[in-house]
Amino acid sequence: MNRSVTYLLVFIVCVVALGFYRGWFTLSSHPEAGSKKVDVNLTMDRDKMEQDAEKVKEKTAEFVGEVKAQVSEQGPKAKSDR
């Protein structure tokens, strides 16, 4: 059970770190005038997340197409080599 929780926490930390790196999340702060309070805001950019997801889908489809082309080219050769 402890391992599962640890893996889950590591996964969450990695996703959050990736999100900040890719610009999905931003933090901003605004100090209140005459006070020691600070407003902290977390903003999530859904458009950026969707754009990145589309890029991943396109790259994956491209890669799968290349692999299929290589397999179809090498398919008859591999059978004749046996």
The rounded distance, in Å, linking the Cα atoms of 28 and 41 is 5
Residue with the two structure tokens 């082309």: 69
Tens digits of per-residue pLDDT, 22-51?
Answer: 999 999 999 888 888 999 999 999 999 999
- pLDDT number for residue 24: 94
- Which residues have a Cβ under 8 Å from the Cβ of 43 and sit 6 or more positions away? 25, 26, 27, 28
The pLDDT > 90 percentage for the chain reads: 71
**Whether the Cβ atoms of residue 38 and residue 30 lie closer than 8 Å to each other:** yes
Could you tell me which residues come within 8 angstroms of residue 24 by beta carbon, excluding any fewer than 6 positions away?
Answer: 18, 44, 45, 48, 49, 52
Three-class secondary structure of residue 40 per DSSP: strand
- Domain spans of the chain? 1-44, 46-82
